[in-house]
Amino acid sequence: MPICDLDKRRPHAKKVIGLDVVVWWDRNGETWKVFDDRCPHRLAPLSEGRIDQWGRLQCVYHGWCFNGSGNCMFIPQANPDGPPVHTAKKGVAVYPSTVQNNIVWFWPNLDPRYKDILVEKKPPYIPEIDDPSYTNLMGNRDIPYGYEILIENLMDPAHVPYAHHGILEILPSKNR
Ligand code: FES
């Protein structure tokens, strides 16, 4: 996800290789976070919630609030004299994530053995994207089909002058 397409003021729903995730800006940790898009309470989509005034991700259904580590820090209905809510085991599943080349990357596996995977295994780095002497343009589209369909399309240049008529410049043809 290019960060230029992400708004820090709200959570974003994304579906990536069949995984429903919520991407949100953790202002306390000053980093983008990628969580499983299911509240551990009653499974409401966290992407439909909000960032609360303390920078936590708040569920839209009953208002539970989660910090950047996925820990529940506030339950509005909890007895104030009860045990601290963060001692409860109800946390959100957090995917390992990082920012590189102004893109949010995440490791699509919640197995705890991959918790620190991005420390040792970085996403592919493209130096030209960070080089100010190059011009780059990023965009993001959510397309509801698998990558294998997209690859088939990209390997089919014959469709370009017609499916993208008037959008892409076509080189002059000798056979006109
Ligand atoms: S479903 Fe999220 S707080 Fe209840």
Residue 79 half-sphere exposure toward CB, CA atoms < 13 A: 3
Nearest CA to ligand 1 atom 1: 42
Whether 172 shows a pLDDT value over 70: the answer reads: no
Distance 75 CA to ligand 1 centre (A): 9
Whether 171 shows a pLDDT value over 80: the answer reads: no
Nearest CA to ligand 1 atom 3: 62
Range of the domain at 23: 3-130
Nearest-Å Rg of the Cα atoms of the chain is 21
Reading the block at residue 104, the tokens are 């949010």
In this structure, is residue 165 part of a structural domain?
A: no
Q: Mind listing the pLDDT tens digit for each residue in 19-37?
A: 999 999 999 999 999 999 9
In this structure, is residue 153 part of a structural domain?
A: no
In this structure, is residue 39 part of a structural domain?
A: yes
DSSP string, the chain: -BGGG--TTS-EEEEETTEEEEEEEETTTTEEEEEESS-TTT---GGGSEE-TTS-EE-TTT--EE-TTSBEEE-TTS-TTS--GGGSS-B--EE-EEEETTEEEE-S---GGGTTHHHHSPPPP-HHHH-TTS---------SS-HHHHHHHHT-GGGHHHHTTTTS--PPPTT-
In this structure, is residue 44 part of a structural domain?
A: yes
**CATH number of the CATH domain containing 52:** 2.102.10.10
In this structure, is residue 11 part of a structural domain?
A: yes
pLDDT band at residue 145 under the 50/70/90 scheme: confident
Strands 103-106 and 72-74: unpaired
In this structure, is residue 176 part of a structural domain?
A: no
In this structure, is residue 162 part of a structural domain?
A: no
Q: Mind listing the pLDDT tens digit for each residue in 83-115?
A: 777 766 679 999 999 999 999 999 999 999 999
Q: Which residues line ligand 1 (CB under 6 A)?
A: 39, 41-42, 44, 59, 61-62, 64
- The total number of structural domains that make up the chain: 1
